[in-house]
Amino acid sequence: MGEPTPPGEGAGFNDLIGLVEESVADGRATISMVAGERHLNPAGTVHGGAIATLVDVAMGRAMASLIADDEHPVTIEMKVNFLEAGEPGTLVAEASVSRRGRLFTVVHAEVTQRGSDETVAEAVGTFTSR
């Protein structure tokens, strides 16, 4: 598999957040993030916005694996259910395309805490491409 790399070219924001592309192929993507001090809310758990970003990137990369190289996934809507508090350490988002239509694609994702394998969040998103 080689060295993990930041998702996509010119990753800018993804790099700032610390997202790592573990695998992307065939409508599936695994993206991880080592949550540290900069990702925490005042309660000491991972900020929901950081988890939502991880989910959005994972779902977008899953879709990107099915479209032409000159196209880019665009998030139309996304719903995240936060099930448990994310703790400092590695969070992993696994996303998969569940339905690809002519105009819209539906993608599901799950975020787990590496080590305990506890599910931190589940999500569904609708994407298009441009």
Q: What is the pLDDT of residue 2?
A: 44
> Could you list the pLDDT tens digit for every one of the 130 residues in the chain?
444 544 555 568 899 999 999 999 999 999 999 999 999 999 999 999 999 999 999 999 999 999 999 999 999 999 999 999 999 999 999 999 999 999 999 999 999 999 999 999 999 999 999 9
Contact in structure between 111 and 90 (CB atoms under 8 Å) = no
Q: What is the pTM of this model?
A: 0.91
Domain extent, residue 102, equals 13-129
Q: What is the pLDDT of residue 43?
A: 97
7 found inside a domain:
no
SS3 56: helix
Alpha helices in 5-79 (DSSP H): 13-17, 48-64
Q: What angle do CA 40, 63, 106 make, to 5 degrees?
A: 85
Q: How many independent structural domains does the chain possess? A: 1
- As given in the structure block, the two tokens for residue 3 are 């060295």
72 found inside a domain:
yes
Specify the CATH number for the domain of residue 55: 3.10.129.10
Burial code of 101-124, b = ≥16 C-beta within 10 A, e = fewer? Answer: eeeebbbbbbbbbeeeeeebbebb
Give the residue among 52, 80, 47, 62 at the shortest CA–CA distance from 8. Answer: 62
6 found inside a domain:
no
5 found inside a domain:
no
Q: What is the pLDDT of residue 11?
A: 67
60 found inside a domain:
yes
| Other CB atoms within 10 A of residue 37 CB | 7
**For the CA atoms of the chain, what is the radius of gyration?**
14
